[in-house]
Chain A
Amino acid sequence: MGSLISIELALAFLGLGFVVGIPLAVGEVYGNKLVKNLVVLPIVEFFRSIPALVLLFLFYFGASSLNLSLSPFIAALLAMGFRSAAYQSQIFRGAIKSIDVGQMQAARSIGMSKFKAIRYIILPQALRISIPGWSNEYACVLKDTSLVYALGITELMRQGRYIVARTFGNAILVYVICALIYFIIVHFGVKLLDFLEEKYKIPGYEIKKVTTRV
C-alpha cells in the first residue's frame, strides 16, 4: 500500500516537474532578459537552494499561516513538484544548449516561428538527450518521497513506522524491507528509461563501441 502511494507521489512530482521544467528551460535559453531574470531564475534558484524538508514545511505551514488550507498532498505536490521542475529545467537546458545552432537556423529558414521550431525541432532532440540525466532525477525524486512522511502522508516510510509500532517488531527488518522496496522501484524505473533511451535513439547517432584500446 505504502509503496503504491510512494510511486504515485513520485509520478505526480515528476509530472508537475516536467510540465513546469520544460517552459523554465525554454525560457532560460530563448526567453528575453525579463523572462529570464524575473521569472525563470528566481524559481530555479529558490527551489534548488532550499532543502526539501524545509520546502515541505514552508508550503504546508506557510499556507495555513496565510489562512489557505492546503491538504498535505497538495502542499507536498507544490513543494516537491516545483523543486523537481527546477532540477529538470537544468537537465533540459543543458540538452537544448547542446543542440547545434544550425538546427534552429534551418527551422527558421523554412519559415517556422520560434515556437514551432522549439516544438518540432529542438525539443524532440533535447528530450532524447535528456533521458540519462532525467533518470537521475527520477531516482532522486522517488527516494525523496520518503520526506513527505513529515507531513503525515502515509507513504512507504510512514507505513514502515506503523508496522514497527504496531507489531513491536524488528525495526531493522522493516527498514531493510523498505530499503529493498525503494531499490526495486528505482531499479525498474531506471531500466524503463534505459529502454526508452534505446528505443528513441537517433539512427546513426548512437555511440559506437570503442574498439581501439585507449
Chain B
Amino acid sequence: MAQTILKVENLHKSYGKTEVIKGVSFEVKKSETKVIIGPSGTGKSTLLRCINQLDYPDKGRVWLEDVEITKPHIDINQIRASIGFVFQSFNLFTHLTALDNVRIGPMRVREMKEEEATKIALEELRRVGLEDKIHHYPAQLSGGQQQRVSIARALAMNPKLILFDEPTSALDPELIGEVLEVMINLAKEEVTMIVVTHEMGFASSVADDIIFMDDGMILEEGPPGKIFKNPKHKRTAKFFSKITQLEGEKAK
C-alpha cells in the first residue's frame, strides 16, 4: 500500500452564514492524481485553499504525511513550502522574469544560494518546456506559458504534493492543451497532485481517483471508469449528462 501523503478529516468551512464545505474527508496516496469535479460553487476551490490554509478551515483536521497541519502554532510557512499551489489566474509575480519567479522560492524560502536555486529553476522551466523564455516577464508570455511557469514555480520547491485550482479555466481553448500536457507528464512522473478541473477528458484519462463534489460534500469517489460509467448518485449522473450534452452540441 502506498504511503498516505495527505489526509483530510471532516473539514468544514463557512463564509459568514453560508456553509461552503460541510464535512469533507478523503486521503491522497503518494504519486496519486486525485481529480475533484463538480458544479461551480460547490466548494472545490475552497477545499484546496483550506488544505494549504490560504483559508483557515473552521473545523476538521488535515495531515500532511504524519504531521497534523491544522494544529495551532504549527509553522504554516514551512508546511506551505512543501505544498505546491497552482492558481486559476496564474498569479505570477509581475515584476519578475520567468526565471526569477521560479527561483525566488528556493532562494527566499529555502534560503539556497543563487547558483543552486538557478540550477533548480532552469531544470523546472525545461521540464515545462520554457527554457527559451526564462528572461521574459509574465506580461510578455501567453496565458498557457504563464501557467506553465507557475507550475515550474510550484515544482521548484520540491513539494510533497501540488494543488491545482482550475488551472486551465482562464485559458483560451488553444492554450489549454499545452498546460494539460505538462500536467499529464507530471502524473506520469508520479508527482502527487490534487486537481480541481472541468476538463473531463483530463479527468477520465489521467486521474487515478475522482471525487465528485456537490453542495459542499463529497457525493462520490472512485476510479474514473466507475464514476463516469456507473455513477451511484442521480446528481452525478445528471452532471455528466449535462456535460455530454454540451460536448454533443459542440460537435454539431
Contact = CB atoms under 8 A, between A and B. Distances in A.
Contacts of A203: 137, 139-140
10 contacts: A103-B94, A109-B80, A109-B83, A110-B104, A120-B108, A125-B94, A202-B137, A202-B139, A204-B140, A205-B139
Interface string B108-141: 1100000000000000000000000000011110
B91 A103 contact: yes
Contact of B80 (A102, A103, A111, A120): A111
B85 interface: yes
Contacts of A108: 54, 77, 80
A204 B91 CA distance: 15
Contacts, number: 76
Given A108-B80, A110-B105, A111-B109, A102 B95 contact: no
Contacts of B105: 110-112
A74 interface: no
B20 interface: no
A125 B95 contact: yes
A113 B105 CA distance: 11
Contacts of B46: none
B78 interface: yes
Interface in B200-248: none
A105 interface: yes
B99 interface: no
Contacts of B79: 111
B175 interface: no
Q: Which 10 A-B pairs have the closest CB atoms?
A: A204-B139, A111-B81, A102-B91, A106-B91, A109-B85, A110-B105, A111-B109, A111-B80, A204-B140, A203-B137
A111 B78 contact: yes
A42 interface: no
Contacts of B137: 202-205
A116 B150 CA distance: 19
A30 B80 CA distance: 20
B202 to A, nearest CB: 22
Interface in A110-124: 110-113, 116, 120-121, 124
A135 B153 CA distance: 35
B87 A106 contact: yes
Interface string A3-39: 0000000000000000000000000000000000000
B87 A110 contact: no
Nearest to A200: B95
Contacts of B64: none
B157 A124 contact: no
Nearest to B53: A108
B104 A106 contact: no
B229 to A, nearest CB: 36
A191 to B, nearest CB: 24
A98 to B, nearest CB: 12
B140 A106 contact: no
A112 B87 contact: no
A143 interface: no
Interface string B91-105: 111110000000011
Given A116-B109, A120-B108, A204-B137, A110 B153 contact: yes
